[in-house]
Structure 1
Amino acid sequence: MSDPQDLFRRAIAAREVQDLGGALNAILMAAKAAPNDPNVALGLAQISFEAGLDAADLYGRAAQLQPQRIDLQRSRATALAAEGRQSEGEALLEDGLFKNPGWIDGHRCLSGMRATGGDTNFARSFSAAVARDPENFSLRMAWFHVLAMAKLWDEARAVIADAEQCLGERQASLLGKLFIASESGEAAHDPALFDAVEHVSDVGLDIARVRHFLRGGQIERARDVCLRHLGKPAMRAFWSYLSLAWRLLGDRQVEWLNAGMRDVRSFDLDFTPSELRELATTLRRLHTMQQPWHEQSVRGGTQTERPLLLRIDPVIAGARQRIENAVQHYIAGLPQNDPAHPLLAAPRGRFLFAGSWSVRLRPGGFHAMHTHPMGWISSALYVTVPEGADLGPEPAGHLQFGSPPPELNLQLNPYGAIEPKPGRLALFPSTMWHGTVPFADGERMTIAFDVIPTAPQFS
């Protein structure tokens, strides 16, 4: 029998190149050879989870071997929810939070689990924890962020007001108040709203500044905030906003950046109708949530968790192979390398999935305008699409590109759109604004993913 540490290293190497079948084979042999090795036990749980297998009990075993690692209880709770045992997952997190009220990641996980389960009082664990640990300012601000992501502005204001009454104003609470004032509409057009924190350097604050300046017509200020991140990894979060500023200013550099629909392509993959029906059946079983996460673009539907395209399910694997072939064709057809461009600077070799998921939209559902700043190339593969009157008049259900988020109130038209059809894969730059038009009735289900180049120069 091979050395368990060698098997463990083989498993990790296979996982890093997203060969989950090879990783699973190696880690299973390692676990058989070294059943009490904590790293092997954790590796078995993580690889099993990512491969789409039941992993809650495996995380439980890993937690037994490393009782000091509270994060393993969060992983176990997530796995329990994914296996349809959400009440057990919530109970596990509640127990951990009772013992550790300042465990912020546990609160976030529990809040997300409750929100996607349809619980409107999803953030209540924070209230109990703050009552027990009232001087924990970080805990209070985490509570604020969870509420703000859900756009529960009154509740978020109340959390900050109470924090400042008890502990005084701090930079984080001040920035929180500015964020609410801008995003809620309370002071959306106050040109001086952010002037008092001009000296504060923070990427998240700069995103808030840019959105505020665009919304209020201070386009040059928005552009200048974006440009100060050029050459830095954080710039990927600003390219999409810079494109809006350039368009509004009539700057021709936007043609270099976006080139209209030049880098948006569609591929009609060779699925048979029966293969698409089988894929749809497989995906429906994975849509166990009732509501989307608050921070997502999904409106009127659900999104799966776990990395979808890493599952070892043969139906998913067959779709992945077709997807990979199309991505390779897309990359091969890109314009020549441009070291300053967020899409064209990346190396053209192998790629990895940075994330993959399925979205199932209900009647009237859509995606809000958004981007994927952590990706390089993004996507939508249509598995089911309403037909005829169920879809509605054109452009119902279409995937549109280039329009700004409506809450910014910018009068810019989309560059174009892709019509949804079963088996059609849309590929486009991750930094490009995209969203969908609501449809009338039926089901619209997709597979979506981001890819990144394997070379470390990606930024």
Structure 2
Amino acid sequence: MNLNLQNQVASLANLLNQKNYQQVISSADALLKQHPKADVLFHLKALALKNSGSLEAAVLSFQQCLELNPKQPEVLNNLGNTYKLLQQYDLAIANYEQALKVNPNFVEAKRNLVLAYQEDNQLIKALAIAEEILASNPQDVSALTSKANLLKALDRYQEAINVYQQVLTLNPRYVNALHNLGLTYKLLEDHQSALACFKQASQLAPQVAEIDFSLANTYFEINQYPLAEQSYWAAINKKPLYVDVHSTLNEFYWQLGKHQEFGKSYQLVLDKMPNSPELVTAYVQQLFAAGADQQAKAVLAKASDQGKHYQLTALAAKVAIVDGNAGLAADHYKHSLALKFDVDNALDFAEFLIKQGEYYQALEMIEKVELIQPYHQLNLGFKSLCWRLLGDERYHWLCDYQRFIKPYQLPVPQGYDNLPQYLAVLENTLLSMHDKVHEPLKQTLKNGTQTPGRLLHKPVQVIQELKHSLTQVVHQYVSELPDDPNHPLLKRKSNNIQFSGSWSVKLRPNGFHVNHVHPDGWLSSAFYIKVPDFSQFPQKSEHAGAIKFGESGIALGEREVVERIISPKAGQLVLFPSYVWHGTYGFNGDDSIFRMTSPFDVIPV
């Protein structure tokens, strides 16, 4: 590299550090016309593109750099980081691994590989790389924290606690470890230890809103609602554009029936900071979920970045659908995805295309999502709909309602004479947890309540007995599945399983679950704790309270079909693939009756 080019590269590096990304891009392009084989210019341009959010263009520039000089571990690492941002974890992992082949001692690439494996739910592989870093430096606080985070994700909570405490012995003021230690205690339902960690972390870092958020969520779980509300607002005051806090606070108001407070946090911040597309997006989404379509339209109409921001453009598509303008909706979705390919928006577009009868176009969108998230269960659910509506035989191969949907009776836990005795104890325990007024906004139940937190992780004897018995049934179900390396359900068969979600639902008369899938699961189930005698009341359907499979949640009218119906009894559970569409029939009765279930999701580890 000649001296003049060296000086120009140094100047570009300074501009990059100063975040003058557009100037770096334009200057690099001009220099590449003179020096087309200067790989460092492609690298600098790629970094500027990545930092400015043009991820696909950044990938191309990184690749051009590597074509000129493939043995550059830093470039491979940066390309991996870009793929990670694009949620293309297999490609991210491949580039980190290639960087380590060039330089086996490249610790930064190892750290990023840990994160990519973790994001891709390959937790055991991530843990192995973290251990590899620690083998060279046992007191690497960052690697120790990653190890503890992975142990927490693997539900190995006591081990995680031990490692977090090891980190805090090395660095007592390491707020990240202290905060995560509190989150681990919270997962164990040790709320007092969690609160102690959060309060200590808050003293060390009083301006960190994330700690207030954790305090609020913990207070919410133990029904200390005034303290929860106070902590949510503390987080918003410190970080006004903290979208997750706004969303959770307004969910909090909704479930407690404080509808007069619903939306106020958004309004207060947007009055002062109107140019926040992320906050507008969250507000509009919650308004749509609450059925306030006209208010949602009014809020969106005030947004100045419509057409420039991918989320606002996608929401404009939803408004066009509400207004009955399908052509405009399609244009908005296409424009949104051109601005940024977001999986959730792509799935919304796929749903729209299915409703319009454009099944092949929907399948094209579904295939694009598969490249990023091959096991996204809603995506598979939409694929099943397209295949059925096109008369494709693969529909039956994918869903096989007789083979893959199985009812079981729960094994009686030790210490109980019979199942009804156990169910009575479990019911009384769960009733105390159903203390909200309304169902969560974005959940599928209507006219009922749902418990917060992860039910099967609660250190309550009767719940741990339930978890043990459910685990037995899940293992039996998995052992009965056939082998097929090409099937999205069967190729993930594993005896190592994890309950990724668990909760309890109490449905009142006229309550039901709208048809849905479980997007983040592999296997899903509903365990029936209390099923009233529906014959005591006049019912609209002979299937009152039953669970149905096959009918989608996107209201296809005459194109819908119910493939299977199961009328469960107390003590039964039904296991099925998480991508299979399912819902329930409502039931009538007086205020004295209710139906209680304990649904859950399982994923392979």
TM-score (norm 1): 0.88
Q: Does 1:359 find its partner at 2:505? A: yes
Equivalent pair of 2:209/2:234 in contact (CA under 8 Å): no
Answering whether residue 207 of structure 2 is matched by residue 76 of structure 1, we say no
Q: Does 1:149 align with 2:289?
A: yes
Offset of residue 119 of structure 1? 2.1
Q: Take 2:306 and 2:369, find their aligned partners in 1: how far apart are those partners?
A: 32
SS at match of 2:453: coil
Q: Find the partner of 1:344 among 487, 490, 497.
A: 490
Aligned CA distance change for structure 1 residues 17 and 228 (closer, same or farther; 3 Å): closer
1:230-241 pair list within 5 angstroms:
230-233=370-373, 236=376, 237-241=378-382
Matched position secondary structure for 1:107? helix
Q: Which amino acid aligns with 1:85?
A: Q
SS of equivalent to 2:576: strand
Q: CA deviation at 1:34?
A: 9.1
**1:311 deviation in Å?**
1.3
Deviation sequence 1:142-185 (CA, Å, 0-9, x none): 22222223232111111111113xx5643433321112322x3x
Query: What is the alpha-carbon distance in structure 2 between the residues aligned to residue 196 and residue 35 of structure 1?
Result: 51
Distance 2:170 2:425 in 1: 38
Matched, 1:198 2:331: no
**Where do 5+ consecutive residues of structure 2 fail to align?**
1-138, 413-418
The aligned runs of 1:22-421 (5 Å cut-off) are 38-39=175-176, 41-55=178-192, 57-58=195-196, 59-121=198-260, 122-164=262-304, 169-171=307-309, 172-182=311-321, 184=322, 186-187=323-324, 190-191=326-327, 193-195=329-331, 197-198=333-334, 200=338, 201-233=341-373, 236=376, 237-271=378-412, 272-339=419-486, 341-390=487-536, 392=539, 394-405=542-553, 407-421=555-569
Q: Return closer, same or farther for 1:192/1:170 CA change in 2, 3 Å cut-off.
A: closer
Offset of residue 395 of structure 1 = 0.7
SS in 1 for 2:469: helix
Looking at structure 1, the residues matched to 164 and 434 of structure 2 have their Cα atoms a distance apart, in angstroms, of: 28
Q: Tell me how far apart the structure 2 counterparts of residues 284 and 25 of structure 1 sit (CA, whole Å).
A: 34
In the alignment, the residues of structure 2 paired with residue 425 and residue 44 of structure 1 have an alpha-carbon distance, to the nearest angstrom, of: 34
**Paired letter, 2:276:** N
Cα distance, 1:375–1:302 mapped onto 2, change above 3 Å: same
Mapped to 1, the partners of 2:520 and 2:333 lie a distance apart of 27
Instruction: Find the residue that maps to 2:369 and give its secondary structure.
Output: coil
Partner Cα distance (2:348, 2:144) in 1: 47
- For 2:57, the equivalent position in structure 1 comes to none
Bigger CA drift: 278-287 or 23-32? Answer: 23-32
Q: How many residues align?
A: 445
Q: Deviations over 1:326-349 (max 9, x none)?
A: 00001011111323x221110423
CA shift, 1:216, in A, is 2.3
Change in CA separation of 1:206 and 1:32 when aligned onto 2, cut-off 3 Å: closer
Counterpart CA distance in 1 for 2:181 and 2:243 is: 26
Whole-Å Cα distance in 2 between the matches of residues 22 and 367 of structure 1? 38
SS in 2 for 1:425: strand
Structure 2 CA distance, aligned partners of 1:196 and 1:61? 47
Q: Show CA shifts across 1:383-413 (max 9, x none).
A: 1111143574531111111101253435222
Q: CA deviation at 1:314?
A: 0.9
**SS at structure 2 position matched to 1:449:** strand
Quick one: structure 1 residues 334 and 208, their matched pair in 2 at CA, closer, same or farther if it must change by over 3 Å? same
Distance change (3 Å), C-alpha of 1:13 and 1:178: closer
Amino acid across the alignment from 2:519 = P
When residues 410 and 35 of structure 1 are mapped into structure 2, their CA distance, relative to the original with a 3 A threshold, is farther
Larger Rg: 2
Aligned CA distance change for structure 1 residues 333 and 231 (closer, same or farther; 3 Å): farther
Contact persistence 1:396–1:437 (CA under 8 A): yes
Q: Which amino acid aligns with 2:379?
A: F
Q: Deviations over 1:175-212 (max 9, x none)?
A: 21112322x3x226x35631355362432232222222
| Structure-2 change in CA distance of 1:38 and 1:212 (3 Å) | closer
In 1, the alpha carbon distance for the partners of 2:158 and 2:594 equals: 32
Structure 2 CA distance for partners of 1:193 and 1:13, relative to 1, 3 Å: closer
Identical aligned residues as a percent? 29
Q: Retained in 2: the 8 A contact 1:404–1:410? A: no
Q: CA RMSD in A?
A: 2.9
Query: Residue 405 and residue 365 in structure 1: after superposition, are their counterparts in 2 closer, same or farther (change >3 A)?
Result: same
- The 3 A distance-change label for structure 1 pair 32 and 425 is farther
Q: 1: CA distance between counterparts of 2:168 and 2:567? A: 48
Q: Is the 8 A contact 1:52 1:312 kept in 2?
A: yes
The structural deviation recorded for 1:229 is: 3.2
**Counterparts of 2:438 and 2:598 in 1: how far apart (Å)?**
17
The one-letter code sitting in structure 1 at the alignment partner of 2:195 is D
CA contact (8 A) 1:191 1:216 kept: no
Pairwise CA distance, 1:81:
1.3
Alpha carbons of structure 1 residues 15 and 244: separation in structure 2 relative to 1, 3 Å: same
| 2:212–2:234 contact (8 Å) kept in structure 1 | no
Give the stretch that moved more between structures: 433-442 or 322-331.
Answer: 433-442
**Could you say what secondary structure the match of 2:269 adopts?**
helix
How far did 1:27 drift? 7.1
| C-alpha deviation, 1:351, in angstroms | 0.8
SS of corresponding position for 2:440: coil
SS in structure 2 at match of 1:317: helix
CA distance in structure 2 between the partners assigned to 1:145 and 1:12 by the alignment: 31
DSSP 3-state at the match of 2:599? strand
Distance of 2:165 and 2:424 partners within structure 1:
33
Match of 1:457 in 2: none
Tell me how far 1:8 sits from its aligned partner: 8.6
Amino acid at match of 1:174: T
Matched, 1:18 2:155: yes
Counterparts of 1:192 and 1:44, CA distance in 2: 49
State the TM-score, normalizing by the size of structure 2: 0.68
2:306/2:313 contact within 8 Å kept:
no
After superposition, the Cα gap between the structure-2 partners of 1:357 and 1:25, relative to the gap in structure 1 and judged at 3 Å, is: farther
Higher helix share: 2
* Cα distance, 1:410–1:49 mapped onto 2, change above 3 Å: farther
Q: How does 1:442-457 map to 2 (within 5 A)?
A: 442-454=593-605
Partners of 1:235 and 1:336 in 2: CA distance? 17
